[in-house]
Amino acid sequence: MTEQVRRRPGGCARPLNEAYDTALLDLDGVVYAGGAALAHAVDSLVTARDAGMHLAYVTNNAARTPQAVADQLTGFGLPTGADDVITSAQAVARLISEQVPAGSRVLAIGGEGLRVALRERGLVPVESADDDPAAVAQGYDPTMDWGRLAEAAYAVQRGVPWFASNTDLTIPKERGIAPGNGALVEVVRTAAGGTPQVAGKPQPPMHRETVLRTGAERPLVIGDRLDTDIEGACNGGVDSLLVLTGVTTAAELPAAPPQHRPTYVDADLRGLLTAQPAVEPDGEAFGCCGWRAAVDGDVLVLDGAGEPLDGLRALCAAAWTAAGDGSCTADASGALKRLGLAGR
Protein backbone atom coordinates (compact mmCIF):
# COMPACT_ATOMS: atom_id res chain seq x y z
CA MET A 1 0.00 0.00 0.00
CA THR A 2 1.14 3.55 -0.62
CA GLU A 3 2.57 5.83 2.04
CA GLN A 4 0.53 8.88 3.03
CA VAL A 5 3.28 11.09 1.59
CA ARG A 6 5.83 9.23 -0.53
CA ARG A 7 9.37 10.49 0.06
CA ARG A 8 11.21 8.18 -2.33
CA PRO A 9 10.55 5.47 -4.92
CA GLY A 10 9.92 2.09 -3.38
CA GLY A 11 12.06 -1.00 -3.61
CA CYS A 12 10.81 -4.54 -4.13
CA ALA A 13 13.06 -7.58 -3.72
CA ARG A 14 10.74 -9.79 -5.80
CA PRO A 15 9.65 -9.26 -9.41
CA LEU A 16 6.57 -7.08 -9.35
CA ASN A 17 4.46 -9.72 -11.10
CA GLU A 18 5.13 -12.00 -8.12
CA ALA A 19 4.59 -9.37 -5.42
CA TYR A 20 1.14 -8.30 -6.70
CA ASP A 21 -1.79 -10.47 -7.74
CA THR A 22 -3.37 -8.12 -10.30
CA ALA A 23 -1.98 -5.57 -12.73
CA LEU A 24 -4.42 -2.71 -13.37
CA LEU A 25 -3.03 -1.53 -16.68
CA ASP A 26 -3.73 1.69 -18.51
CA LEU A 27 -3.80 1.18 -22.28
CA ASP A 28 -2.88 4.32 -24.26
CA GLY A 29 0.81 4.99 -23.69
CA VAL A 30 1.34 1.77 -21.71
CA VAL A 31 0.28 -1.18 -23.88
CA TYR A 32 -0.20 0.65 -27.18
CA ALA A 33 -0.12 4.05 -28.83
CA GLY A 34 -3.04 4.42 -31.21
CA GLY A 35 -3.23 1.18 -33.18
CA ALA A 36 0.28 -0.14 -32.54
CA ALA A 37 1.57 -2.15 -29.58
CA LEU A 38 4.47 -0.56 -27.76
CA ALA A 39 7.85 -2.24 -27.68
CA HIS A 40 8.16 -5.04 -25.08
CA ALA A 41 4.54 -4.65 -23.95
CA VAL A 42 3.01 -7.85 -25.31
CA ASP A 43 5.91 -10.15 -24.43
CA SER A 44 6.11 -8.74 -20.90
CA LEU A 45 2.39 -9.08 -20.26
CA VAL A 46 2.19 -12.61 -21.66
CA THR A 47 5.08 -13.62 -19.38
CA ALA A 48 3.43 -12.02 -16.34
CA ARG A 49 0.08 -13.65 -17.10
CA ASP A 50 1.62 -17.08 -17.69
CA ALA A 51 3.33 -16.79 -14.29
CA GLY A 52 -0.06 -16.32 -12.62
CA MET A 53 -0.70 -12.58 -12.55
CA HIS A 54 -4.22 -11.41 -13.41
CA LEU A 55 -4.17 -8.69 -16.07
CA ALA A 56 -6.96 -6.11 -16.10
CA TYR A 57 -7.01 -3.19 -18.52
CA VAL A 58 -8.31 0.05 -17.05
CA THR A 59 -8.75 2.87 -19.51
CA ASN A 60 -10.11 6.40 -19.40
CA ASN A 61 -10.87 6.12 -23.12
CA ALA A 62 -14.65 5.76 -23.27
CA ALA A 63 -14.97 5.57 -27.06
CA ARG A 64 -14.83 1.81 -27.58
CA THR A 65 -16.62 -1.13 -26.00
CA PRO A 66 -14.72 -3.54 -23.74
CA GLN A 67 -15.14 -6.23 -26.43
CA ALA A 68 -13.56 -3.99 -29.08
CA VAL A 69 -10.61 -3.30 -26.78
CA ALA A 70 -10.28 -7.01 -25.96
CA ASP A 71 -10.31 -7.88 -29.66
CA GLN A 72 -7.52 -5.40 -30.34
CA LEU A 73 -5.37 -6.78 -27.52
CA THR A 74 -6.02 -10.32 -28.70
CA GLY A 75 -4.91 -9.24 -32.17
CA PHE A 76 -1.62 -8.11 -30.67
CA GLY A 77 -1.07 -11.66 -29.41
CA LEU A 78 -2.40 -10.95 -25.92
CA PRO A 79 -5.58 -13.07 -25.50
CA THR A 80 -8.09 -10.93 -23.60
CA GLY A 81 -11.78 -11.19 -22.75
CA ALA A 82 -14.23 -8.31 -22.48
CA ASP A 83 -14.46 -8.92 -18.72
CA ASP A 84 -10.76 -8.03 -18.45
CA VAL A 85 -11.40 -4.48 -19.69
CA ILE A 86 -12.75 -1.70 -17.45
CA THR A 87 -13.53 1.64 -19.06
CA SER A 88 -14.43 5.08 -17.78
CA ALA A 89 -17.66 4.70 -19.76
CA GLN A 90 -18.65 1.90 -17.38
CA ALA A 91 -17.69 4.01 -14.38
CA VAL A 92 -19.67 7.05 -15.53
CA ALA A 93 -22.68 4.92 -16.45
CA ARG A 94 -22.76 3.45 -12.92
CA LEU A 95 -22.38 6.95 -11.44
CA ILE A 96 -25.32 8.27 -13.48
CA SER A 97 -27.49 5.22 -12.71
CA GLU A 98 -27.12 5.92 -9.00
CA GLN A 99 -28.51 9.45 -9.42
CA VAL A 100 -31.36 9.13 -11.95
CA PRO A 101 -34.34 6.75 -12.15
CA ALA A 102 -33.99 3.44 -13.98
CA GLY A 103 -34.86 3.77 -17.65
CA SER A 104 -33.95 7.47 -17.79
CA ARG A 105 -32.88 9.07 -21.03
CA VAL A 106 -29.26 10.20 -21.16
CA LEU A 107 -27.79 12.51 -23.79
CA ALA A 108 -24.78 10.49 -24.95
CA ILE A 109 -21.95 12.66 -26.28
CA GLY A 110 -19.33 10.07 -27.14
CA GLY A 111 -18.59 6.82 -28.92
CA GLU A 112 -20.25 3.41 -28.97
CA GLY A 113 -18.47 2.40 -25.78
CA LEU A 114 -20.41 5.05 -23.88
CA ARG A 115 -23.77 3.99 -25.32
CA VAL A 116 -23.17 0.32 -24.55
CA ALA A 117 -22.19 1.15 -20.96
CA LEU A 118 -25.31 3.27 -20.45
CA ARG A 119 -27.55 0.49 -21.76
CA GLU A 120 -25.80 -1.98 -19.45
CA ARG A 121 -27.04 0.16 -16.53
CA GLY A 122 -30.61 0.29 -17.84
CA LEU A 123 -30.35 3.82 -19.22
CA VAL A 124 -31.52 4.98 -22.65
CA PRO A 125 -29.00 6.93 -24.80
CA VAL A 126 -30.51 9.80 -26.79
CA GLU A 127 -29.04 12.18 -29.36
CA SER A 128 -30.58 15.61 -28.70
CA ALA A 129 -30.95 18.07 -25.88
CA ASP A 130 -34.61 18.23 -26.99
CA ASP A 131 -35.15 14.54 -26.08
CA ASP A 132 -35.75 15.48 -22.41
CA PRO A 133 -32.60 13.79 -21.03
CA ALA A 134 -32.17 13.33 -17.28
CA ALA A 135 -28.38 13.63 -17.65
CA VAL A 136 -25.61 14.45 -20.11
CA ALA A 137 -22.81 11.87 -20.43
CA GLN A 138 -19.70 13.09 -22.23
CA GLY A 139 -16.94 10.71 -23.28
CA TYR A 140 -14.08 10.61 -25.75
CA ASP A 141 -14.88 10.09 -29.42
CA PRO A 142 -12.19 10.73 -32.07
CA THR A 143 -14.94 11.54 -34.60
CA MET A 144 -16.62 14.18 -32.40
CA ASP A 145 -18.03 17.11 -34.37
CA TRP A 146 -19.29 20.57 -33.51
CA GLY A 147 -22.94 19.51 -33.54
CA ARG A 148 -22.49 16.93 -30.77
CA LEU A 149 -20.64 19.39 -28.55
CA ALA A 150 -23.37 21.95 -29.19
CA GLU A 151 -26.07 19.48 -28.06
CA ALA A 152 -24.17 18.95 -24.80
CA ALA A 153 -23.89 22.71 -24.27
CA TYR A 154 -27.60 23.26 -24.92
CA ALA A 155 -28.54 20.61 -22.34
CA VAL A 156 -26.10 21.86 -19.71
CA GLN A 157 -27.38 25.41 -20.20
CA ARG A 158 -30.89 24.11 -19.40
CA GLY A 159 -29.69 22.70 -16.09
CA VAL A 160 -29.41 19.03 -17.06
CA PRO A 161 -26.87 17.28 -14.76
CA TRP A 162 -23.56 16.86 -16.60
CA PHE A 163 -21.23 13.89 -16.26
CA ALA A 164 -17.86 13.26 -17.93
CA SER A 165 -16.16 9.92 -18.35
CA ASN A 166 -12.78 11.57 -17.77
CA THR A 167 -10.94 14.86 -18.18
CA ASP A 168 -7.61 13.79 -19.72
CA LEU A 169 -6.54 16.79 -21.78
CA THR A 170 -4.41 14.69 -24.13
CA ILE A 171 -4.17 11.17 -25.54
CA PRO A 172 -1.09 9.46 -27.08
CA LYS A 173 -1.36 8.52 -30.76
CA GLU A 174 1.06 7.00 -33.24
CA ARG A 175 1.93 10.44 -34.66
CA GLY A 176 2.15 12.28 -31.34
CA ILE A 177 0.01 13.67 -28.53
CA ALA A 178 -3.58 14.55 -29.53
CA PRO A 179 -6.43 16.34 -27.69
CA GLY A 180 -8.32 14.12 -25.25
CA ASN A 181 -11.78 14.19 -23.71
CA GLY A 182 -10.76 16.86 -21.21
CA ALA A 183 -10.14 19.28 -24.06
CA LEU A 184 -13.68 18.62 -25.36
CA VAL A 185 -15.12 19.03 -21.86
CA GLU A 186 -13.51 22.47 -21.80
CA VAL A 187 -15.28 23.33 -25.06
CA VAL A 188 -18.66 22.59 -23.46
CA ARG A 189 -17.69 24.42 -20.28
CA THR A 190 -16.73 27.50 -22.31
CA ALA A 191 -20.16 27.57 -23.94
CA ALA A 192 -22.35 26.49 -21.04
CA GLY A 193 -20.46 27.05 -17.80
CA GLY A 194 -20.65 24.61 -14.94
CA THR A 195 -18.52 21.63 -13.98
CA PRO A 196 -19.28 17.98 -14.71
CA GLN A 197 -19.12 15.12 -12.26
CA VAL A 198 -16.13 13.07 -13.39
CA ALA A 199 -15.96 9.29 -13.11
CA GLY A 200 -12.60 8.32 -14.67
CA LYS A 201 -9.11 8.27 -13.26
CA PRO A 202 -8.05 9.79 -10.91
CA GLN A 203 -11.53 10.08 -9.39
CA PRO A 204 -12.84 7.47 -6.89
CA PRO A 205 -15.68 6.13 -9.11
CA MET A 206 -13.14 4.59 -11.49
CA HIS A 207 -11.23 2.90 -8.69
CA ARG A 208 -14.51 1.57 -7.27
CA GLU A 209 -15.57 0.24 -10.68
CA THR A 210 -12.21 -1.50 -11.10
CA VAL A 211 -12.32 -3.17 -7.68
CA LEU A 212 -15.92 -4.31 -8.22
CA ARG A 213 -15.11 -5.88 -11.59
CA THR A 214 -11.69 -7.45 -10.81
CA GLY A 215 -11.84 -8.46 -7.15
CA ALA A 216 -8.14 -7.56 -6.87
CA GLU A 217 -6.57 -8.09 -3.43
CA ARG A 218 -2.99 -6.89 -4.07
CA PRO A 219 -3.32 -4.66 -7.13
CA LEU A 220 -0.59 -2.71 -8.86
CA VAL A 221 -1.69 0.25 -10.98
CA ILE A 222 0.47 0.65 -14.11
CA GLY A 223 0.26 3.84 -16.11
CA ASP A 224 2.04 6.55 -18.05
CA ARG A 225 0.31 9.64 -16.60
CA LEU A 226 0.97 11.27 -13.25
CA ASP A 227 -2.30 13.20 -13.19
CA THR A 228 -4.59 10.23 -13.85
CA ASP A 229 -2.97 6.81 -13.34
CA ILE A 230 -0.65 7.69 -10.47
CA GLU A 231 -3.00 10.13 -8.77
CA GLY A 232 -5.78 7.56 -9.10
CA ALA A 233 -3.59 4.95 -7.40
CA CYS A 234 -2.81 7.40 -4.60
CA ASN A 235 -6.52 8.17 -4.19
CA GLY A 236 -7.25 4.45 -4.00
CA GLY A 237 -4.41 3.71 -1.59
CA VAL A 238 -2.67 1.21 -3.88
CA ASP A 239 0.85 0.93 -5.25
CA SER A 240 1.76 2.08 -8.74
CA LEU A 241 4.32 1.65 -11.50
CA LEU A 242 4.98 4.54 -13.87
CA VAL A 243 6.31 3.53 -17.29
CA LEU A 244 8.02 6.14 -19.45
CA THR A 245 6.40 5.07 -22.74
CA GLY A 246 3.62 7.65 -22.91
CA VAL A 247 2.82 11.16 -21.75
CA THR A 248 5.02 11.58 -18.66
CA THR A 249 8.73 12.23 -19.13
CA ALA A 250 11.55 11.50 -16.71
CA ALA A 251 12.16 15.25 -16.39
CA GLU A 252 8.74 15.72 -14.75
CA LEU A 253 9.30 13.28 -11.90
CA PRO A 254 11.59 15.19 -9.50
CA ALA A 255 9.04 18.03 -9.24
CA ALA A 256 6.04 15.71 -8.73
CA PRO A 257 3.76 16.69 -5.83
CA PRO A 258 2.79 13.93 -3.36
CA GLN A 259 -0.32 12.78 -5.24
CA HIS A 260 1.72 12.30 -8.42
CA ARG A 261 4.58 10.24 -6.96
CA PRO A 262 4.61 6.62 -8.16
CA THR A 263 5.74 3.74 -6.00
CA TYR A 264 7.99 2.47 -8.79
CA VAL A 265 9.29 3.88 -12.08
CA ASP A 266 10.65 1.96 -15.07
CA ALA A 267 11.32 2.47 -18.76
CA ASP A 268 8.58 0.15 -20.03
CA LEU A 269 6.56 -2.92 -19.13
CA ARG A 270 9.66 -5.07 -18.75
CA GLY A 271 9.80 -3.47 -15.30
CA LEU A 272 6.79 -5.60 -14.32
CA LEU A 273 9.00 -8.70 -14.52
CA THR A 274 11.88 -7.44 -12.40
CA ALA A 275 12.66 -6.51 -8.82
CA GLN A 276 12.88 -2.79 -8.11
CA PRO A 277 16.08 -1.45 -6.50
CA ALA A 278 15.82 0.23 -3.13
CA VAL A 279 16.76 3.88 -2.67
CA GLU A 280 18.59 4.35 0.62
CA PRO A 281 19.50 7.44 2.68
CA ASP A 282 23.21 8.29 2.54
CA GLY A 283 23.80 11.12 4.99
CA GLU A 284 21.89 14.08 3.53
CA ALA A 285 21.81 12.36 0.14
CA PHE A 286 20.13 9.30 -1.34
CA GLY A 287 21.81 6.42 -3.11
CA CYS A 288 20.62 3.87 -5.66
CA CYS A 289 22.85 1.29 -7.36
CA GLY A 290 25.97 3.44 -7.71
CA TRP A 291 24.30 6.86 -7.92
CA ARG A 292 24.09 9.47 -5.16
CA ALA A 293 21.72 12.46 -5.33
CA ALA A 294 21.15 15.45 -3.08
CA VAL A 295 19.71 18.94 -3.04
CA ASP A 296 22.42 21.60 -2.88
CA GLY A 297 20.80 24.99 -2.43
CA ASP A 298 18.46 25.38 -5.38
CA VAL A 299 20.06 22.65 -7.50
CA LEU A 300 19.72 18.86 -7.58
CA VAL A 301 23.18 17.34 -7.80
CA LEU A 302 24.12 13.82 -8.84
CA ASP A 303 27.32 11.82 -8.80
CA GLY A 304 28.29 8.23 -9.38
CA ALA A 305 27.61 5.87 -12.28
CA GLY A 306 25.26 3.13 -13.35
CA GLU A 307 21.92 2.72 -15.10
CA PRO A 308 20.20 6.06 -15.82
CA LEU A 309 16.92 4.93 -14.25
CA ASP A 310 18.68 4.23 -10.96
CA GLY A 311 20.05 7.76 -11.03
CA LEU A 312 16.53 9.04 -11.68
CA ARG A 313 15.24 7.08 -8.68
CA ALA A 314 17.91 8.66 -6.48
CA LEU A 315 17.07 12.13 -7.82
CA CYS A 316 13.40 11.61 -7.04
CA ALA A 317 14.18 10.59 -3.47
CA ALA A 318 16.31 13.69 -2.89
CA ALA A 319 13.72 15.98 -4.49
CA TRP A 320 10.63 14.47 -2.86
CA THR A 321 12.21 14.44 0.60
CA ALA A 322 13.26 18.07 0.26
CA ALA A 323 9.83 19.09 -1.02
CA GLY A 324 7.80 17.19 1.58
CA ASP A 325 4.14 17.98 0.95
CA GLY A 326 4.90 20.30 -1.97
CA SER A 327 6.75 20.24 -5.29
CA CYS A 328 10.52 20.43 -5.46
CA THR A 329 11.69 23.63 -7.17
CA ALA A 330 15.39 22.74 -7.27
CA ASP A 331 16.88 22.74 -10.77
CA ALA A 332 17.27 19.15 -11.97
CA SER A 333 18.32 19.94 -15.55
CA GLY A 334 22.03 19.31 -15.07
CA ALA A 335 21.51 16.00 -13.29
CA LEU A 336 19.00 14.85 -15.88
CA LYS A 337 21.36 15.83 -18.68
CA ARG A 338 24.07 13.71 -17.09
CA LEU A 339 21.67 10.77 -17.11
CA GLY A 340 20.72 11.43 -20.74
CA LEU A 341 17.14 12.06 -19.62
CA ALA A 342 16.80 15.82 -20.04
CA GLY A 343 13.60 16.56 -21.91
CA ARG A 344 12.63 12.86 -21.95
User: Is there a catalytic annotation at residue 28?
Assistant: yes
Whole-angstrom distance, CA of residue 225 vs CA of residue 259:
12
Query: Helix, strand or coil for residue 315?
Result: helix
Residue 138 burial (10 A CB sphere; 0-12, 13-18, 19+): buried
Cβ atoms of residues 343 and 249 within 8 Å: yes
Query: Helix, strand or coil for residue 194?
Result: coil
Residue among 98, 97, 139 at smallest CA distance from 122 = 97
User: Is there a catalytic annotation at residue 131?
Assistant: no
Cβ atoms of residues 70 and 86 within 8 Å: no
Residues whose CB falls within 8 Å of the CB of residue 336, separated by 6 or more in sequence, listed in order: 250, 251, 254, 312, 315, 342, 343
Residue among 23, 6, 15 at smallest CA distance from 279 = 6
Helices (H), ranges, 51-169? 66-75, 88-97, 112-120, 146-157
Amino acid at site 247: V
* Residue-by-residue DSSP string for 252-314: GSTT--GGG--SEEESSGGGGGS-B---EEETTEEEETTEEEEEETTEEEEEE-S-HHHHHHH
Whole-angstrom distance, CA of residue 227 vs CA of residue 232:
8
**Catalytic residue among 21, 26, 145, 298, which?**
26
Query: Helix, strand or coil for residue 222?
Result: strand
**Catalytic residue among 28, 84, 141, 310, which?**
28
Sign of CA dihedral 201, 204, 209, 215: positive
**Residue 178 CA: distances (Å) to CA of 171, 199, 229, 283:** 5, 21, 18, 44
* Catalytic positions: 26, 28
